[in-house]
Amino acid sequence: MPLYFGPSLGGRVRKSGIFTELLVPSGISIALILESLTWEVQSLKPDSIRQHLRPYSIVGKRQTTINHAFASAIAVVDEFDLAAINRSVRELGQNPDSDLSCVYCGKEAQTWDHVFALVEHGQYSGFGHTLGNLVPWCKQCNSQKGNQNWEHFLRNKQQDETSFRDRAQKLTTYITREMPPRLTNEDIRKLCPAEMEEMERAKNEVIDQMEKADTIAALIRKKTKNHLTRT
Ligand SMILES: [Zn+2]
């Protein structure tokens, strides 16, 4: 059973199950291509418990999550229109009557996600939940892309020049034809100044309340700690 063992990243070993071949007694080779089955196994060292042995923070890294939630809420949204979706899927070079494939690697797609991020420098970027910005992804590409520009990411995924050009061309067509005009955060601020100011205030209040809760939690931990002495 051939397995790919990727590079070890900081003590983590990534293992992907991609292809399994069974040779049955009759001599017939049965190839089971398990492209959808990708799993990760991580080695665990004792000192990695360190990250759990520290006070939990409610606000923690949630500023990013909160920025994303507030940006998502004001982002432009396309209505569901099957004819338009089928047309746009064809622009991506795919058959709308079949299962979709990941626009970056070609493997079976498992989710829809945005090509352009909704948040830029902590604010709404102007890209929304629309055709032209939502594409089919496999979970692996979805977790790998991060903040990379789509073209740069595609280049890493498609080393072969012809494959890269073909996919890049289709994505460019899709983005150009289907993406609605872009209103940035600043544009929206000009159109709805009072509402945008109130949204900013609401966001800051959410963060303030989480920080306040963190302070209260620290007091609770301090007061309860003395009652937790091991015998
Ligand atoms: Zn992919």
pLDDT tens by residue, 173-199: 999 999 999 999 999 999 999 999 999
In whole angstroms, give the CA distance from residue 231 to residue 125: 56
In whole angstroms, give the CA distance from residue 84 to residue 131: 8
Are residue 17 and residue 108 in the same domain, yes or no? no
Are residue 169 and residue 69 in the same domain, yes or no? yes
Q: Are 203 and 185 in contact (CB under 8 A)?
A: no
First to last CA, the chain: 51
Q: Which range of residues forms the domain containing residue 17?
A: 4-41
Are residue 85 and residue 131 in the same domain, yes or no? yes
37 C-alpha vs ligand 1 centroid, how far in Å? 13
| β-bridge partners, 21 | 31
Q: Average per-residue pLDDT in the chain? A: 85
Are residue 87 and residue 159 in the same domain, yes or no? yes
Domain-located, residue 215: no
Are residue 85 and residue 162 in the same domain, yes or no? yes
Are residue 68 and residue 32 in the same domain, yes or no? no
Are residue 15 and residue 89 in the same domain, yes or no? no
185 C-alpha vs ligand 1 centroid, how far in Å? 30
Are residue 110 and residue 34 in the same domain, yes or no? no
165 C-alpha vs ligand 1 centroid, how far in Å? 16
Are residue 100 and residue 164 in the same domain, yes or no? yes
192 C-alpha vs ligand 1 centroid, how far in Å? 38
Domain-located, residue 85: yes
Domain-located, residue 210: no
State which of 169, 187, 205 marks the end of a domain. Answer: 187
Note the pLDDT of residue 195.
98
44 C-alpha vs ligand 1 centroid, how far in Å? 27
Q: Count the neighbouring beta carbons within 10 Å of the beta carbon of residue 136.
A: 21
Are residue 34 and residue 67 in the same domain, yes or no? no
Note the pLDDT of residue 61.
79
pLDDT in tens, 48-89: 999 899 999 999 878 889 999 999 999 999 999 999 999 999
Note the pLDDT of residue 9.
36
DSSP annotation of 50 reads: G
144 C-alpha vs ligand 1 centroid, how far in Å? 9
CB environment 51-79: b (16+ within 10 A), e (fewer) = eeeeeeeebeeeeeebbbebbeebbbebe
Q: Which of 41-50, 114-123, 144-153, 212-221 has the lowest mean pLDDT?
A: 41-50
Are residue 80 and residue 180 in the same domain, yes or no? yes
48 C-alpha vs ligand 1 centroid, how far in Å? 30
Binned at pLDDT 50, 70 and 90, residue 23 comes out as very low
Are residue 71 and residue 172 in the same domain, yes or no? yes
53 C-alpha vs ligand 1 centroid, how far in Å? 36
115 C-alpha vs ligand 1 centroid, how far in Å? 13
Note the pLDDT of residue 42.
67
Q: Are 131 and 78 in contact (CB under 8 A)?
A: yes
The number of distinct structural domains making up the chain is 2
178 C-alpha vs ligand 1 centroid, how far in Å? 21
pTM: 0.74
Domain-located, residue 51: no
Q: Which residues contact 74 (CB under 8 A, 6 or more apart)?
A: 124, 188, 199
131 C-alpha vs ligand 1 centroid, how far in Å? 19
Selection from 123, 131, 126 nearest residue 64 by Cα: 123
pLDDT in tens, 91-112: 999 999 999 999 999 999 999 9
Domain-located, residue 99: yes
Q: Are 114 and 133 in contact (CB under 8 A)?
A: yes
98 C-alpha vs ligand 1 centroid, how far in Å? 17
Note the pLDDT of residue 27.
39
Instruction: Look at phi and psi of residue 222 and say left if phi exceeds 0, alpha if psi is from -120 to 50, else beta.
Output: alpha
Domain-located, residue 219: no
135 C-alpha vs ligand 1 centroid, how far in Å? 11
Stated as kind and residue range, the H or E segment containing 43 is: none
104 C-alpha vs ligand 1 centroid, how far in Å? 5
229 C-alpha vs ligand 1 centroid, how far in Å? 51
Domain-located, residue 221: no
Domain-located, residue 74: yes
